[in-house]
Amino acid sequence: MLHRFRNRQFLCYWATLLCSILLLILGNRLAHATGVTLPPFSDPSFFTARVLSITDEQIIEQPGFGDGDAVYLTERHFIATALSGTLDGRTLYAVQQLDSYQPVQPAPVEEGDLVLLYPNPDPSSSVPFLFSDYQRSKGIGIFCVIFLGLLLVFGRKKGFNTIVALIFTCGAVFLVFLPWVLAGANIYLCAILICIYVVASTLLLVDGLSAKTLVAICGCAAGVLTAAALAVLLSQILKLSGLTSQESIFLSQLAVPIDLLGVVFAGIIIGAMGAVMDVAMSVASALSELHEKARDASFRSLFSSGIQIGRDMMSTMANTLVLAYIGSSLTSVLLLTTYASSVFQLLNLEMIVTEILQAIIGSMAILLTIPITSLIAARVYSRLGQNSPENAPALPPNADEGPAGSQP
């Protein structure tokens, strides 16, 4: 029995991997067949360089705008060595220009800084390269490696499977979902399908094929569909247009028309998916452990326990969503609060309404996921408990070790 279960886990793990790879490849190629192309990883006109020394600093006075004060342009000249592109290894002469008209300036370059340079468009200038920005991707990459390392150290096999699932999740969003939306596909359908795929693949890769995993998938899918229905309903009731920011205006001017209300819809359900998945898996796992300790537990007792467990987590999860949305839009909220004539006007701005909707719909999806997952789990586990040990099902309710034998 154990050997058969491990073989089934092994086949499920690799089947999920294969299907995920095929989805990313085929989905991306079909989107590209419509003429949509994502930007390249790097721009050959920009060079990564390391500052060797600061050679000069000049302050140039320029006429102000209208009757305003004079504007001072600070030019910081430096020598750097190129670390990428066709100029790799060559010494470059560049300048960083800091305009006093802008209240916030980038930090002045110093020796040892990693910077991005591009050719000076002014052919009459004596400095061939201009400072664009600091090179930050290397620092981000280091922190990502540390994060993945911690996942491996603390999670071991499950940590590895979590990394694999995370890669497929990001690939599904950036290589399939975004190209299809830019190609003019139905954003509502694409968002729902991507969410269901992410839920199923993540839980199957991390926890393996088991009754607990299937319960969590069903509960999470129900929560995502609930969030989708609420997003459509409330968008119609509140008469939203999707113009929530300056970026929305730019999207509306693309050659292929983008449904801005669909973008809001996708943002709501994708944002809620993570929290809903967490709640669904927590309830399914807790009830699975309860069933393991009390095989004769009834449907009613399991369902009641699931509701009680959900009550303990709903407040913190709702706070998590609300605080996440507040934190992500804090700059905009501060700006709008400063210039709004009243709180009533602020609460009627579509940008603020959309942020509130994201938090409310996500929290409502969590609340409804708890009883749905508890109901499914109680039904499945109570039926499993009615079987005698010799007639136990091939899929045990709990598989903590993930896909046994599937460690790549």
Q: Mind listing the pLDDT tens digit for each residue in 220-245?
A: 999 999 999 999 999 889 888 888 77
On the CB side of 33, how many CA atoms lie within 13 Å of its CA?
Answer: 7
Question: Which has the closest alpha carbon to 349: 329, 322, 321?
Answer: 329
User: Is the pLDDT confidence value at 406 over 80?
Assistant: no
172-191 mean pLDDT? 90
User: Is the pLDDT confidence value at 402 over 50?
Assistant: no
Q: What is the mean pLDDT of the chain?
A: 83
- Tell me, what's the pLDDT at 65? 57
- Tell me, what's the pLDDT at 389? 46
What contacts 36, CB < 8 A, 6 or more positions away? 179, 182, 183
Residue 66: band (very low, low, confident or very high) from pLDDT cuts 50, 70, 90: low
Answer for the pair 126, 56: CB distance below 8 angstroms, yes or no: no
Please list the residues that pair with 54 across neighbouring strands: 78
Residue 51 phi/psi, 5-degree rounding, is -70, 125
256-261 mean pLDDT? 84
- Ranges of H-type helices in 104-210: 137-171, 178-182, 187-207
- Tell me, what's the pLDDT at 319? 80
Straight-line distance from the first to the last Cα atom of the chain, in angstroms, rounded to the nearest whole number: 23
Instruction: Round to whole Å and give the CA distance between 22 and 16.
Output: 10
Instruction: Give, in degrees to the nearest 5, the angle at Cα 246 between 362 and 319.
Output: 20
Question: Which has the closest alpha carbon to 16: 151, 207, 178?
Answer: 207
Strands 114-119 and 91-99: unpaired
Answer for the pair 80, 51: CB distance below 8 angstroms, yes or no: yes
Instruction: Round to whole Å and give the CA distance between 78 and 307.
Output: 64
As given in the structure block, the two tokens for residue 83 are: 């670390």
Maximal CA-CA distance, the chain: 91
| Higher pLDDT, residue 61 or 166 | 166
Least confident of 58-62, 251-255, 299-303, 404-408: 404-408
- From the number of C-beta atoms within 10 Å of its C-beta (0-12, 13-18, 19+), residue 323 rates as exposed
Residue 187 phi/psi, 5-degree rounding, is -70, -30
Residue 388: band (very low, low, confident or very high) from pLDDT cuts 50, 70, 90: very low
Least confident of 110-119, 313-322, 375-384, 394-403: 394-403
User: Is the pLDDT confidence value at 401 over 80?
Assistant: no
Instruction: Round to whole Å and give the CA distance between 408 and 10.
Output: 11
- From the number of C-beta atoms within 10 Å of its C-beta (0-12, 13-18, 19+), residue 75 rates as middle
| Higher pLDDT, residue 71 or 152 | 152
| Higher pLDDT, residue 2 or 96 | 96
